[in-house]
Amino acid sequence: MKKTLWFIAGIAMLFSCNTQQKEIDGLTAKSDSLAAVNIQQGESIIGFVASFNEIQGTLDSIKQMEKIITLNAGKPGSEVEQDAKDKINQDIYAIHAMLRRNREMVANLKARLKKSDGKIVELEKMIDFMTRQIEEKDGEIVQLKDQLAQMNIKVVELSGKVDNLATESQVKSQVIDEKTIALNTAYYAIGTKKELIDNKVITRAGGFIGIGKSSSMAKDFNTEYFTKIDIRNLKFIALNVKKATVVSTHPAGSFNITGIKRADTLFISDFNRFWSASKYLVIQVE
């Protein structure tokens, strides 16, 4: 019963202050069919309602901004000061951004509903309704821009700019993620002296091939012998051998090998310091 009341209350909040009240009332009256779903679906529906509320709230805000733009534009034939023109362009820019956000939210809701178990007709209707409202609002903004143009108020074409900025932001985020992954990527190899030599990881003198003072590897360096890891997640390496020696260069005090008469585990106590000298860890074991 609580869930039913909660859901109905959510629907009522969602469609408050809407100009198309008849269509909204029709959707609200059918909310009982949604309240009959199981608890998990009910919680999911509450999430949908929250998104609907946000979309509707944005559309209401856009409506108020349209009124402000019309007010700033003044009467046809009147001279509009530059400050007012700048404010109009800023408001339209904000409207484009909000509409874009709404379109993204609707697309996300459609994807979530498609993945959910069962077919909830009323949610589909609500999503379709929101889609139509956004499309209508797009049309209203086009008409508003035409009206402003007739009043000699040039509206900067910002819809493409908003999309471009969003794309640039996504690209930058992806680049940052890739750089973060690269900065936290390291490699380690464990083997006997013979295994490490045979795989061209160490020389007979005990030094690295391609690693050390030179930042580049030899062409015949066997990268497949190394295991790739995220240094943030690697706290220790189980060894369980008679003896272990770290051949690669790592600051003293940033790691230690533990075990009684054996080398059981290599612990990394300070991963930032440990990997600062080299992102390649080589452990020679016996």
Cα–Cα nearest to 53, from 10, 18, 96, 99: 10
More confidently predicted of 45 and 35: 45
Q: In the predicted model, is pLDDT for residue 276 greater than 50?
A: yes
Predicted confidence (pLDDT) per residue in 207-251, tens digit: 555 554 332 334 466 778 888 888 888 888 888 888 888 888 888
Of residues 223 and 117, more confidence is placed in 223
Domain ranges of the chain: 2-177, 185-285
pLDDT digits (tens, 9 = 90+) for 142-195: 777 776 666 555 555 544 554 555 566 566 666 666 777 778 888 888 888 888
Tell me the average pLDDT of the chain: 70
Mean pLDDT, residues 270-276: 86
Task: Check residue 220 and give its pLDDT.
Answer: 63
Residue 283's nearest CA partner among 163, 191, 168 is 191
User: Which 3 state secondary structure label does DSSP give 246?
Assistant: strand
Q: Phi and psi at residue 201, in whole multiples of 5°?
A: -95, -40
Query: Is residue 94 within 8 Å of residue 105, measured between CB atoms?
Result: no
Q: What is the pTM of this model?
A: 0.39
